[in-house]
Every structure is written in structure tokens, then in C-alpha cells.
Amino acid sequence: MEIKDLKEIKKVKIFIDNEKIMGEIIDVDNWGKMIISVPQMTKTVPVELGKRGEIFFEKDGIEFFISGKIFSQGIERIFFIPETDILKEKRKNERYETPFVKCILTKEAGKFHKEIISGNVLNISLSGAKIETNLPLNENSAYIIKIDFTIRNKIYPFSARCKLKYIKKMRTVFLNGVEFIEFDYLSLENLKKYLLFLERKFEKDALNY
């Protein structure tokens, strides 16, 4: 699917700050920049700040998404600037945005040498994560990802073997979609606890808005 095809799309889902918002495209230019109408009671984004989010939509029964920056244009409109190409959605599990959680990715590059890349986890689910790095991950290699989840000032360590599903360069950084392919029981339980914490935090924030 190409950017020009967005002119045929109307209904979209916006994913930002773990909030899912239904919207309708009002206008889209040749570069994919969109003006989207949203319900009046939607929690708006400050006009002067751009937040990362994702736009989801369907075409011919297939779901696609684009990552980018979202700006408020009043109480009923947002402005979306794409930062990636249009990607086909293959993720099955519910994912949650994280507050730039640090992670370490280690690639086995030889018997006596390991390549280590640090990154920020942008969103995460039971099956994978989106990670921002300064160096690209290798699509032909497996990595060990390590994350320390913080829940109410207590650390819950997580470690998993993962592989790259997609990668997109965005200015000076890379956005990497990784799939978890192997982890131990403790890591899985800690991930479940963290996702439950994020879900409850979002619900609490929504009620307090």
C-alpha cells in the first residue's frame, strides 16, 4: 500500500498514550500528512507538543498502520505527520506505550565478541516491542533483550530472545519492531505484571481526566 492510497481511507483508529481513539480523515496530502476529526470529548494533545502515536486503518480487509507525530488542532481535530512508511499490521496481542523504558540488546556476533546496543522501548506487548535505537538491528540475527520494569518503585527484570520483524530509519534514529521468541517463566510473569500495571494506570488516568 502507498501513501496515495490514504486518500481513499476515511475511518481510522489513533493509538496514543495507551488511549485508542476513533477518527475520520478530513484531508491528506501527497506526503501522508493528515488532518483527522475526533470526538469532542477526546483527551487532546497540547498544541505546542508533538507526541508519538500510530494510525491504524483497513483496506481490502487488511489492517495497516503508520507511526508518526500527533499534534492537537483544537478539541475536535488532530494533525498527524508520518515518520514511517505504511506497514501491514501483524501483531496479535494488545500493546501498551511505555514511558521510554531503557533496554539492552545483545547480539551473539562470535565466540568471543558480543555486539551490544542500547535502546528505548516505545511500546510493548506479550509478543514483542517497538524499540528506538541509534544503531540498526540486524534482521538476520537473534538478540537477547533485557529490560528492568519498574512497578511502584520495585524492579522486575525481564529477559527474552527476540528477532527483528521490521526496521525504519527516522532522521537520526531507528525504529525496530522485535518479536519475542523465547523467554523463561519469571520473565513472562514479570512482563504480564508490567502490562497489567500499564493497563490499570491508563484506566485510572482516563477516569481522572
Domain 96-208 indexed as CATH 2.40.10.220: yes
Report pTM.
Answer: 0.59
Topology agreement, domain 3-88 and domain 96-208: yes
Domain 3-88 indexed as CATH 2.40.10.220: yes
Residue-range domain boundaries for the chain? 3-88, 96-208
Per-residue pLDDT of the chain (209 residues; tens, 9 = 90+): 777 777 788 888 888 766 778 888 888 888 888 888 887 666 555 554 667 788 888 887 788 888 888 887 666 788 888 887 787 766 556 778 887 799 999 987 666 667 899 999 998 999 999 999 999 999 888 999 999 999 988 999 999 999 999 898 887 899 999 999 999 999 999 999 999 898 876 554 443 33
- Please return the burial class of 112, using the count of CB atoms within 10 Å of its CB with bins 0-12, 13-18 and 19+: exposed
Instruction: Give the separation between CA 80 and CA 68, rounded to whole angstroms.
Output: 7
Tell me if 69 sits within 8 A of 51, measured CB to CB.
yes
